Chain A
Amino acid sequence: MADLRERSGLLTLEESFHLLRRTTLHPTYARAKALVGLTPAAAVTALLDAPEPPNPSPDWATKTPNIPDFNEAYRLFVELQNWWLGRVLTSASPRERLIMLWHNTFTSDYLNVYVSHWIVGQHQMLRTHAYDYSEMSRRIVGDAAMLRYLNGDQSIKGRANENFAREWFELFSLGVGNYTEPDVLEAARAFTGWRISGLTGTYNRQLADLGQKTILGQTGPWEWQDVIRITLEQPACARFIARKLLRSYVEHDPSIESIEAVAALLRANQYKIRPVLQTLLTSEYFFDPTLRGALIKSPLELVVGLASALNVTSIQRQYVAQVMTRLTQEPFYPPTVEGWKGHHAWITSSTYPQRQRFGESFIDGRQVGSSSKLVDDAGKNLVPDVIAFLKQFPDANDADKIVTNVAGALLAVPITTEQHAALLEIMLAGAQRYEWDINSQAAVQRARFLIQAIVRMPEFQLM
């Protein structure tokens, strides 16, 4: 049984890092230090309630779509990626990471949707309602991008398209085994009647099948709202969402008991996420030391996390998109409606070395797999200031301590004595421990050696 009682005591640096890694894309030393000494409840409140600057849609996305050809469509995809990347590279709000969870639940991809305006609309909807699963569910039905992605806009009375109905049950709410094939057919009828008009979906009851339907055991002249209501009443729905939350915040294979405990919280809070997270993220369970480093970073978490740690978040956004694509997380292009599978699927014989090479090159101020320099969006060269990075830690002039502190900031699991010794040797590169001088010119390359050795470790892929 997951122990959801509140964690007693005040947060240590390690616990602060853990909380930041699991909730934000920017688990930096400065942010962790600011949480040290707070109670878990105070820290979580501070994180979740921190003011967020507005995130207006790009101008073009608020106008009626006019996409004459693929070139224009593609130009907008890039704009879309840049708009979002600009946000996640600079916002440390837990909302950004939570939006990724919902984007990976209510998926859609830019090629199938084609009209980037609608993807912006979907993203803004998920942003606004990220802390309310029930509201998101109601709104996703008539979401323009979703209507196009799963053919809801082609589904009318007498000619129901089953695509959305099936994925609604399987991937958005209940999971396999909690509904029947007739439920899919009947729900497909109830989801008829939607069309896309300009930027949004519109419901036309005259096109909808208003006849009697039996869905999950309930019979009536159900329309789309009824399907959502009936679905969310199912205990399986709360379990399904609980599992997703646990996978994102705590561990990849939570026990049935943990899932039930969080599902009960979801039901008690009418699927509001904020109170559920407040309990979960302050719990003994969440801070269980054996669960530190139990998750594998997504490409987004890897890339933004490193850029943030080294204070180069002005990095060219399309470079980030390119790296994420190579690491199999192309922004706004999940491989299937199931979304990115995540966890072990992130790591293959191909992506693992790419992750290592990305990190090493980044620290040198180079783009991976080329001799090109890292640049910002204006084309100006960016070189991570590794000395400034090291100088933020106390005792930066103590070689032993700097290794400990840098590893503590960049790795979610403690290093062993042997690993510490090896990292120290790599950093010193032949020099003696007492010769380490953070202010000397020779320290720059040595600092790079240290950070590069750390990003090559498998531990660096964990969070």
Chain B
Amino acid sequence: MVRALKRQLLILSVCSLNIACASIEPWVQPYERENLADPIMSVNRNPVASAYTHHAFGAREGSRGADGGAGGGCGCN
């Protein structure tokens, strides 16, 4: 009973979030994204070099993970 209620609440939450998201207007229009689409704004401008750089540091450090971003946001991911 409790589990079913939780599931319904989850579905309701997801639906509410969808509706809320749908009502948010983009505050940067596609025609305003010229600067964001410039390669100098890319988080991974040269994948072959950045992969090597992560490897070079990663092999000599104890930390790992969360290297590189998702990209995107300007229709250029």
Q: Do A and B come from one complex?
A: no
Interface residues of B (CB under 8 A from A): none
